């Protein structure tokens, strides 16, 4: 065994002449242990919250979402849509049209977002698995149904067994002029509510899910979409798929402009390959409208990019908390400096004996460096072990429960090995710096014989 390590171990476990040194050493180990344990628990708690939030948004938000760069809607032609559907890794393709509307049920009313979706939506989001009442059904036998978030249903006091009062949806008519009767300015449709889903407050109090055909009728938008949501196979490279979708949309730029022009119904438009907008049979004013509003511009975002601010906020809070706890740990490690300094003073005679036997200052320095690192390592491993045990207990026995009605029944924790490695490295680095400085100062002083 290395001589300096052997002596350092003896100094660590042997009884000192002054009981205060033993107490300070134990306090030093306990301080490092508690600080390390706290960091492990806090980081695991943040990981659990992050995983929970990501899981909630993972249910409602698609892997990739295409939205208009400007305005509320856009048009995509059939060839571009077919190419996206046939991409490698694409399993779900959902067209979405959404807008704010007034929902009325019996004598109650509320402003909400109606979201018209095509067939793949239920398979992609699996919202049927979080349906609390009824069933997630949008169409049956050519009859349209609505599915509401739990918050909306509670505000409207909806009963799924009350067939006397359907849900009424009010949407302002497009290009409506001033009318005497305000009700004439709205398009109204009545639908039955088939189910109520519960995900989180952001969605539960906001969304009413409808069939795409009903949303297009209400909003009078035959070919326009608010978004296209794409679901990918597990393991598919999301960034690569995003770039491929952008390339497909850019390739079909001329066709998409012409699709927009036709949809305006400004005048009969015949698509002529290679012709510019100026050559289309539209007036100057109409051409300007097509050039401005029909300029295809898309924003293609991954799931992370759709909620980038949220996830960045969670991550920044996690690392700021880590830095604060690391600073507290620095203060706790000052106990190691005190313990080491008192040990050096107590072992002054032993040091002189070693020097007379031929030991140089380098060996003396190594002894106390290793002594300090052993104190730090004992605290680190104890803290990591206790932190992992408490995280396991929380996961298994739910020591910190949530109140009833929350999406989960206990505080979520998730241990990430990279976090443990970071904690270990950080504490070891702080401990090394704390030990190195007093030992260097001591070896340069007159405490050692020349």
Structure confidence by residue, pLDDT tens digits, 223-271? 899 999 999 999 999 999 999 999 998 887 655 555 555 555 443 443 4
Q: Is the pLDDT of residue 202 over 90?
A: no
pLDDT confidence bin for 139, thresholds 50/70/90: very high
* Backbone phi and psi for residue 432, each to the nearest 5 degrees, phi listed first: -60, -45
pLDDT of residue 294: 44
Q: Is the pLDDT of residue 19 over 80?
A: no
Distance of alpha carbon 237 from the chain centroid: 18
* Integer Cα distance of 322 and 196 in angstroms: 40
* Integer Cα distance of 16 and 24 in angstroms: 11
Q: Which of 223, 268, 269 is nearest to 76 (CA)?
A: 223
Q: What is the largest CA-CA distance in the chain?
A: 109
* Backbone phi and psi for residue 61, each to the nearest 5 degrees, phi listed first: -90, 140
Q: Which of 449, 450, 443 is nearest to 344 (CA)?
A: 443
> C-alpha distances in angstroms, 422 versus 6, 370, 448?
29, 21, 37
Structure confidence by residue, pLDDT tens digits, 31-46? 999 999 999 999 999 9
| Residue that is written with structure tokens 């906001």 in the block | 206
């Amino acid at each position: 065994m290395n001589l300096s390590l052997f002596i350092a171990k003896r100094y660590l476990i042997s009884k000192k002449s002054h009981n205060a040194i033993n107490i300070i050493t134990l306090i030093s180990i306990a301080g490092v242990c508690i600080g390390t344990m706290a960091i492990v628990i806090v980081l695991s708690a943040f990981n659990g919250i992050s995983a929970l939030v990501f899981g909630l948004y993972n249910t409602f938000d698609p892997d990739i979402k295409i939205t208009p760069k400007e305005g509320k809607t856009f048009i995509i032609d059939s060839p571009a849509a077919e190419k996206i559907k046939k991409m490698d890794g694409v399993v779900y393709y959902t067209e979405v049209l959404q807008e704010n509307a007034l929902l009325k049920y019996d004598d109650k009313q509320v402003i909400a977002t109606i979201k018209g979706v095509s067939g793949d939506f239920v398979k992609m989001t699996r919202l049927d698995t979080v349906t609390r009442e009824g069933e997630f059904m949008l169409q049956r036998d050519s009859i349209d149904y609505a599915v509401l978030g739990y918050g909306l249903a509670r505000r409207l006091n909806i009963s799924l067994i009350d067939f006397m009062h359907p849900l009424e949806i009010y949407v302002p008519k497009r290009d409506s002029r001033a009318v005497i009767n305000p009700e004439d300015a709205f398009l109204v449709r009545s639908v039955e509510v088939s189910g109520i889903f519960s995900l989180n407050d952001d969605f539960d109090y906001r969304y009413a899910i409808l069939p795409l055909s009903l949303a297009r009728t209400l909003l009078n938008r035959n070919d326009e979409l608010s978004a296209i949501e794409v679901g990918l196979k597990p393991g598919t490279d999301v960034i690569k798929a995003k770039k491929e979708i952008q390339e497909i949309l850019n390739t079909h730029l001329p066709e998409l402009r012409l699709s927009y022009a036709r949809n305006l119904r400004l005048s009969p438009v015949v698509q002529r390959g290679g012709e510019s907008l100026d050559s289309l049979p539209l007036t100057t004013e109409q051409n300007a409208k097509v050039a401005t509003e029909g300029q295809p511009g898309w924003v293609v975002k991954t799931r992370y990019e759709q909620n980038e601010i949220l996830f960045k906020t969670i991550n920044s809070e996690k690392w700021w908390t880590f830095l604060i706890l690391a600073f507290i740990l620095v203060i706790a490690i000052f106990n190691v400096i005190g313990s080491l300094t008192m040990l050096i003073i107590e072992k002054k005679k032993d040091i002189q004996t070693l020097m007379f036997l031929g030991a140089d200052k380098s060996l003396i320095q190594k002894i106390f460096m290793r002594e300090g690192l052993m104190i730090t390592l004992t605290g680190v491993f104890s803290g990591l072990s206790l932190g992992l045990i408490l995280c396991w207990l929380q996961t298994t026995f739910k020591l910190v429960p949530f109140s009833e009605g929350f999406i989960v029944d206990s505080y979520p924790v998730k241990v990430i090995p990279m976090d443990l490695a970071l904690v270990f490295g950080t504490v070891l680095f702080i401990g090394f710096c704390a030990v190195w400085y007093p030992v260097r100062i001591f070896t340069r002083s007159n405490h050692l014989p020349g």
